[in-house]
Homo-oligomer: A and B are copies of this chain.
Amino acid sequence: MNFKEELNKKSELINDLLKRYIRSQECPEKILNSSVEYSLMAGGKRIRPILIISTYELFREDIEKTFIFDVAMEMIHTFSLIHDDLPGIDNDDYRRGKLTNHKKFNEATAILAGDSLLNYAYNLVLNDIINNNEIKERKLQALYELSYGTDRMIAGEYVDTEYEGKEILSEYLEYIHKNKTGALIKASVKIGAILAGASQEDIDKLTIYAEKIGLAFQIKDDILSEIGDAKEIGKPVGNDKEREKCTYTTKYGLEKAQQILNEITNEAIEIISEFDNSEFLRELALYIANRNK
């Protein structure tokens, strides 16, 4: 199986897992549940749960032990997208070529759908930990990492919003990227490693790999937001510049941003190559740097 086939297969697996947790359309809050389902199944790349599974696979084969975290991670990521798109924050009408949640439903529904997804992620994992004695301590540690990553992601989103249209120091730009996108990517890799029982030394190395690809992911997003194909990425391009949003491309220019992207991708590949069976994670670093959406 080549990289693209494996990526698609893993992405399909995540979609199937998510479908298991879609809630009743026969209850007073049925429209809330529909709105959650709408955003959850809107066709994301599922990079974060794929990172959990693929990091776990460096050490063990029984990937079903990661499933509840795969679902929880994608729920929390989806919550963050729904809230970021809100009129009070980025005020975006489209995401992945589809109407954003508040445009498809309404603002109250989008706020509460995001809240519900964030909270339900914890509810699901806690239920699993209570009713399943396997690797309980590891799961608790992994859930803590999820909560920490989410905390940093929210802080990063806040600082990004606060500095929109303002001159920004490069240390703040780094802070935003490290937290807003990087925190959940880092948490995903750490969760995979913790669940697999990796040594602290291995967790530390993998954390550096995760930091590199997290930063690469955001720089690539910045580049695509400026010069990507609007049809491919599913939202208008050039918005960031218009809003005077601080990004790698508005701060450093396109050429320098691309250069940084290449450098950190190479660094990530170097670190992950120290692990056996790491071909997929090497290819994933390249995929993040080279994707067109």
Contacts and interface: CB of A to CB of B under 8 A. Distances in A.
Interface string A47-88: 000000000000000000000000000000001000100111
Contacts of A88: 86-88, 102, 106-108, 110-111
Interface string A78-117: 0100010011110000000000001000111111101110
A286 interface: no
A48 to B, nearest CB: 16
Interface string A154-177: 110111011000000000100110
Interface in A111-158: 111-112, 114-116, 118-120, 122-123, 126-127, 129-130, 140-141, 143-144, 147-148, 150-151, 154-155, 157-158
Contacts of A157: 112
A32 interface: yes
A126 B147 contact: yes
Contacts of A162: 31-32, 108-109
B123 A130 contact: no
Interface residues of A, number: 49
Interface in A16-58: 27-29, 31-32
Contact of A89 (B31, B111, B118, B159): B111
A109 B150 contact: no
B130 A140 contact: yes
B116 A119 contact: no
A158 B31 CA distance: 9
B86 A150 contact: no
Contacts of A143: 126
A255 to B, nearest CB: 28
A32 B154 CA distance: 10
A159 B150 CA distance: 27
A115 B83 contact: yes
Nearest to A145: B126
B148 A123 contact: yes
B119 A118 contact: yes
A148 B109 CA distance: 20
Given A88-B108, A140-B129, A147 B159 contact: no
B87 A119 contact: no
16 contacts: A28-B175, A32-B155, A79-B115, A88-B102, A88-B107, A88-B111, A89-B107, A89-B112, A108-B161, A109-B158, A114-B115, A115-B115, A119-B154, A123-B148, A123-B151, A130-B144
Given A118-B118, A119-B150, A122-B147, 9 more contacts: A27-B155, A28-B155, A28-B175, A86-B88, A86-B111, A109-B162, A111-B111, A114-B115, A127-B144
